Amino acid sequence: MDIRNIAIIAHVDHGKTTLVDALLRQSGQYRDNQQVAERVMDSNDQERERGITILSKCGSVVWKDTRINIVDTPGHADFGGEVERILSMVDGVLLLVDASEGPMPQTKFVTAKALKLGLRPVVVVNKVDKPDARPDEVHDEVFDLFVTLEANEEQLDFPVLFASAKGGWASRDSSARSGDMSALFDTVIEHVKAPTVSESSAFKMLATTLESDPFLGRILTGRIESGSVRENMTVQALHRDGTRAERTRITKVLAFRGTGREGVTEAHAGDIVALSGFSTATVADTICDLEVTEAIPSDPVDPPTLSMVFSVNDSPLVGRSGKKVTSRLIRARLMDEAEGNVAIRVTETENGDAFEVAGRGEFAAWRAD
């Protein structure tokens, strides 16, 4: 099956979730009467609370024999190299903009990176059904933004669709007020290149995101750069300098199917997959066949910028509030967070009753339960 990999960039509330739901419904993977139970892009509760994306999630839709993997992008500014790594999985970006609000400054950062990487943008001006919509002006504003961000000629010649994600339609014509999503599917397939894969038959994948699953353990997601990966295959993880992080057996190959992930026996170059079976491998490592000696070039994960010591409450108010009242419980909670969060590093103090947690300034939003 042909593949297209695109990232979606959208300011909060401009309709990303509604758009992806509409694409899923119309891509023929669901029976007409079947509800799309889960909203793909927004399923992590903690994340919704904070309004940012930590795990970059994927969805996938099939249109006329092409699988389109849709990757969510972080809405926040930077986690050193994270945005580049996510964008390195895709060959195009879908910039979704509200037809009355226009492009928002908060999306500029990711858009600028995407343009710099040479990715082709497809612009969707959404909510054109709203009474205060000004689709043509917003189209011009996006063009001006791309000029400011030094887009090249090809990028400035971007296709634009005028849509109502809520109404389930998108059109190349700014006066359209009905229809379906075919024009958007066709535009993505036509304008976004098929993934570039290397000729080598050796399996190689750059680990782009890390998460921790209660059953599968560490899960690393990335785009397969060359070769194929199979369940039970023995692989290694290489650090950025090419030294080996670990050697292991892949326990699961998960491919993105609609809103969820499904175990597959094998996946090939170009596809985006999640792999389990690791104990130490992490983001920015290269997962590959044993004979590979060179890691895929990537930016390092930013080192922590601040740290705090966590310990048992020994104040006069001890016992009055809080659930994590022993060092053991505090340790378990911190280690659990560190397992699935590359931004955090936990070190135990010598006597074992306090923990130094180093991170990048997101502590305030980080809940202890």
Comparison of 40 and 238: residue with beta carbon closer to ligand GDP: 40
Comparison of 166 and 268: residue with beta carbon closer to ligand GDP: 166
Longest CA span, the chain: 70
Q: Check: CB of residue 182 under 8 Å from CB of residue 176.
A: no
Span near ligand GDP by CB under 6 A; candidates 13-21, 205-213, 255-263, 297-305:
13-21
Span near ligand GDP by CB under 6 A; candidates 5-13, 182-190, 194-202, 344-352:
5-13
To the nearest 10°, the Cα dihedral for 326, 327, 332, 337?
110
**CB neighbours of 27 closer than 8 A, spacing ≥ 6?**
61, 62, 63, 185
SS (H, E, C) 140-195: HHHHHHHHHCCCCHHHHCCCEEEEECCCCEEECCCCCCCCCCHHHHHHHHHHCCCC
Q: Check: CB of residue 247 under 8 Å from CB of residue 290.
A: yes
* Sheet bearing 306-311, strands edge to edge: 306-311, 354-359, 345-348
Comparison of 19 and 210: residue with beta carbon closer to ligand GDP: 19
Q: Does 50 bind ligand GDP (CB under 6 A)?
A: no
Q: Does 171 bind ligand GDP (CB under 6 A)?
A: no
Q: Does 130 bind ligand GDP (CB under 6 A)?
A: yes
Taking each helix axis from N to C end, the angle separating 16-26 and 182-191, rounded to the nearest 10 degrees, works out to 100
Tell me which residues in 208-227 interact with ligand GDP (CB under 6 A). none
- Closest distance between ligand GDP and the C-beta of residue 123, in Å? 15
- Closest distance between ligand GDP and the C-beta of residue 317, in Å? 39
Residue 252 tokens, joined: 């699961």
Instruction: Choose which of 166, 239, 268, 360 interacts with ligand GDP (CB under 6 A).
Output: 166
Residue 69 tokens, joined: 């993997």
- Closest distance between ligand GDP and the C-beta of residue 325, in Å? 38
- Closest distance between ligand GDP and the C-beta of residue 83, in Å? 18
- Closest distance between ligand GDP and the C-beta of residue 70, in Å? 13
DSSP character string of 240-287: TTS-EEEEEE--EEEEEEBTEEEE-SEEETT-EEEEEEESS--TTPEE
Comparison of 23 and 295: residue with beta carbon closer to ligand GDP: 23
DSSP character string of 79-107: SSSHHHHHHTT-SEEEEEEETTT-S-GGG
Instruction: Choose which of 5, 18, 209, 298 interacts with ligand GDP (CB under 6 A).
Output: 18
- Closest distance between ligand GDP and the C-beta of residue 75, in Å? 9
* HSE-up of residue 267 (Cα within 13 Å, Cβ side): 27
Span near ligand GDP by CB under 6 A; candidates 79-87, 110-118, 161-169, 180-188:
161-169
Tell me which residues in 89-128 interact with ligand GDP (CB under 6 A). 126-127
Look at the chain and count its residues.
369
Q: Does 75 bind ligand GDP (CB under 6 A)?
A: no
Quote the CA–CA distance of 11 and 177 in Å, as a whole number.
23
Q: Does 192 bind ligand GDP (CB under 6 A)?
A: no
Comparison of 16 and 223: residue with beta carbon closer to ligand GDP: 16
Instruction: Choose which of 3, 6, 7, 15 interacts with ligand GDP (CB under 6 A).
Output: 15
Q: Does 165 bind ligand GDP (CB under 6 A)?
A: yes
Instruction: Choose which of 47, 78, 84, 129 interacts with ligand GDP (CB under 6 A).
Output: 129
Q: Does 68 bind ligand GDP (CB under 6 A)?
A: no
Instruction: Choose which of 13, 137, 190, 262 interacts with ligand GDP (CB under 6 A).
Output: 13
Cβ atoms within 10 Å of 182's Cβ, excluding its own: 14
- Interface residues with ligand GDP (CB under 6 A) are 10, 12-18, 126-127, 129-130, 164-166
